[in-house]
Amino acid sequence: MRVGFIGLGHMGGPMCARVAGGGFEVSAFDLRPEAVEAAVAAGAAPAASAAECAATADVLVTMLPAPPHVEDVLLGTGGALAALPDGALAIDMSTSSPALGRRIAEAAALCGIAFVDAPVADALKASQGDLHIFVGGEPADVARARPVLETMGRPERVVHVGPQGAGYTVKLLVNLQWFVHAAAAAEALAIGARAGIELRTLYTVLAAGPARSSFLENEALEVLEAGEYGERFPLGLVTKDLNMALELAHEMGIPADVSARTHELYGRVLEHYGAGAGEMAVVRHYEDIAGAPLRFGAPDGG
């Protein structure tokens, strides 16, 4: 099976390497030559354009920053969808909008191309092939995509969540819940530390108790132990995902009060720290309010 892979960033690069190491013939394209060079070192062949990458692919994978990039590569100037051979399969693994997914699916059907949306979670696991993958599409197309997807995520983590567009929907909700959890945990930690609770004790109670979350159990430790704020996923993408989640809520007619307040908070954080700050800059925001870092072993952090 020949696989084209477009988008070789922090996530796409290691994902492409996993596919190339999985026994597939892979061609790779990115606007950054150094990213293509890294993919070639991992076993892929270089492509000169998105259309060239797609032209000989049985399966095309795209992993791009935002919906405008997905739309441009597949439907716009990139020309990737039109370049695919008849009967090929396109898999978009970006975090994108269900509305765009519907447009891509319609265009793909007119071209005789199958399409599934398969966004991913758990960025730190990309190089290990242990991603969570949420797949939307027809059962036969999902089955066809599985051999490629299972090079990037364990079989039990590659979950068929519904028809086309369902993968995008689930990923937006996963991200929404994570951002809410991150903000709530940062707030609770700052309040507790200011109230004089030793930080490690406070963290242990929160992470093991009924309010525990994946954020507390995993990513929060990057801040508390090492002062890292998750720069691998920039704050600009956080607010992009929150915008799409709120648009989805509005479309579904669901009041999203918690989500709206979270979006407002991250908007202030974005204004203060910039789009390039890490996804956990919300913790930094509360540290600045408290006047002390939330750090194990710090004089004011416990």
> Among 171, 102, 99, which Cα is nearest to 135's?
171
- Exposed/middle/buried for residue 153 (C-beta within 10 Å: 0-12, 13-18, 19+): buried
Active site annotation includes 240: no
- Exposed/middle/buried for residue 76 (C-beta within 10 Å: 0-12, 13-18, 19+): middle
Q: Which residues contact 148 (CB under 8 A, 6 or more apart)?
A: 1, 3, 19, 22, 24, 59, 61, 91
Q: DSSP readout, 85-141?
A: PTT-EEEE-S---HHHHHHHHHHHHHTT-EEEE--EE-GGGGGGT--EEEEES-HHH
Q: DSSP readout, 143-175?
A: HHHHHHHTTTS-GGGEEEEESTTHHHHHHHHHH
Q: How many CB atoms lie within 10 A of CB 39?
A: 27
Q: How many CA atoms lie within 13 A of 21 on its CB side?
A: 15
Which of 171, 240, 263, 285 is an active site residue?
A: 171
Alpha-carbon Rg for the chain, nearest whole angstrom, is 20
Bridge partners (DSSP) listed for residue 28: 5, 46
- Cβ atoms 59, 25 nearer than 8 A: no
Token output for 260: 């709206």
Token output for 5: 């892979």
**Cα distances (angstroms) measured from residue 46 to each of 103, 151, 234, 245, 257:** 29, 20, 27, 35, 47
As annotated, the active-site residues are 171
